[in-house]
Structure 1
């Protein structure tokens, strides 16, 4: 096994990852690194051999780790990366490990509107990486810049326009780890912002299985098509409707189910393996394609290696 650099944080060998994901599945990482702060992360990455794979995870809210686990190093940031500060001019600065919901609430306390983040599961780092959005607003609409630490340990500040932010995706440099994001938020009355967020939470709980073991929306809403037949950035066609029409609401495989409450929520109903979850997702994709000719794209990130039966 590769000798690892010394760290001030925590570096654990053969660390199971299932308990770190919302779906509660997944094999072990060769190494799990929980850096103490920015300098600890930068020093570790600069000293880590270039051939060792690195993967950054947040709170595992949009993730399936396959049953065979992850090779290389999984980086999970916590204290030292979760600060939230309010600055002059409607600026909100948030660490990559800060929960989206916490950022929305702290901004609202200061009379700043980042309410679209309130019901997005996960952390700011993940929200930037996937240009997360809700209620018609996306990270791209409010992001000013991010600070990243590159695979070689260098710090870089990247303006939002340099991130290639698009629907559910970004173009972060390969291997770069987001450590901080800066947003520009419009002013509004705190009581109005909190009322808006309360209404969002109520609507979410009424329409989504928010108490079940899911990873949020399973598939992206398909892009629409313009009159020329070219794909555009309109996503009025909903994945849940395509799944419903294909007869896959409530479909099961092992301990996995397409949630009866919302057909686009793949759920660990009890005892599911990562193979069950991913396998059911692929069955849904095939059924939707057979019924509509549309290929659904995964929104949940699937990483690691399957267990290969001999």
Structure 2
């Protein structure tokens, strides 16, 4: 960008604060649209949508940010509600250049933070590395999967992660072994504002044909059971201990429930849909209504799995 930027000429702002930006070799878009790529296709803009050129660019940029500037890394927004008032501060989206995948000795796969789960699974398959097939069923990026311990089909990211390279909020670059992330179900101890730029995964030797067949099975099962061709945010609520969230939602009579243009999927009750013109407020309110009905019917309190960010309008 060639210098520290500060802009406050935006009328109704996403934040009352005007955040300054340090130099960046990549791009920084003021009031950058998030609804253009977030799966729900809803929500307000990022105050600054930043796309660094590479790891060093991101690290220098983060080091130069003022301490009070919020930083939120976002991948493809497959498990995210961006509230209608937008996101204050900086939203970091890694470029395609940081989506590279390579195979290393010892049945290991190294992937950039912007790489998609399906790409990692495919790279492992082609190299005859088994154990990463479940990533075919995770529709987000490596960065998001590592941060939230994403999982599917009986396996979690914590089962295969060896280490992650992280740009911390102060701009330092650290390599965290998997144990340091303090993984639990859909949670890690990675601090707010830190950006995962690379991950190293480990598998076991396998037959590419067998691996491919398992990936095909996962793809077919997802297609049959989930509303993949809809504007959705993936699994909405965590599975409570001893329960399946979708079954609790169904038992509470929420299948097909609507609020405005937001709907509980009739195909899979743990998915919320934007039928066309839903606001983020309607989607989130529908989720809260589902939580209330489930609590009243079963006594179980569902926890959000979808991350909800930004300012309520």
Q: Which residue matches 2:5?
A: none
Aligned pair partner of 2:311 in 297, 305, 310: 305
Output the TM-score relative to the length of structure 2: 0.93
Unaligned runs of 5+ in 2: 1-17
Identify which of 264, 272, 276 aligns with 1:270. Answer: 276
CA contact (8 A) 1:38 1:80 kept: no
- Aligned-partner SS, 1:18: coil
1:121-166 per-position Cα deviation (integer Å, ceiling 9, x unaligned): 1000000011111111111111100010111110101100110011
- TM-score if structure 1 supplies the norm length? 0.94
- What do the CA deviations read for 1:186-236 (whole angstroms, capped 9, x no partner)? 111001111111111111111111111111111000024xxxxxxxxxxxx
- Paired with 2:266 and 2:104, the residues of 1 have a C-alpha distance of 44
1:260 corresponding residue in structure 2: 266
Aligned to 1:197: 215
CA distance in 1, matches of 2:138, 2:96: 21
CA contact (8 A) 1:64 1:274 kept: yes
Task: Please give the secondary structure, in 2, of the residue aligned with 1:203.
Answer: helix
For residue 222 of structure 1, give the secondary structure of its aligned residue in structure 2.
Answer: coil
Tell me, yes or no, if the aligned pair for 1:130 and 1:170 is still in contact at 8 Å: yes
Equivalent of 1:94 in 87, 92, 111: 111
1:163 aligns with 2:181: yes
Alpha-carbon separation, structure 2, partners of 1:253 and 1:142: 39
Contact residue 255 and residue 266 of structure 2 kept, 8 A: yes
CA–CA separation in structure 1 for the residues paired with 2:178 and 2:20: 36
TM-superposition CA deviations, 1:55-88 (whole Å, max 9, x none): 0000010000000000000000022310100011
Where in structure 1 do 4 or more consecutive aligned residues deviate above 6 Å? none
Give the match for residue 14 of structure 2: none
Residue 26 of structure 1: which of 43, 47, 54 is its match?
43
> 1:75: which partner in 2?
92
Instruction: Name structure 1 gaps, 5 residues minimum.
Output: 225-236
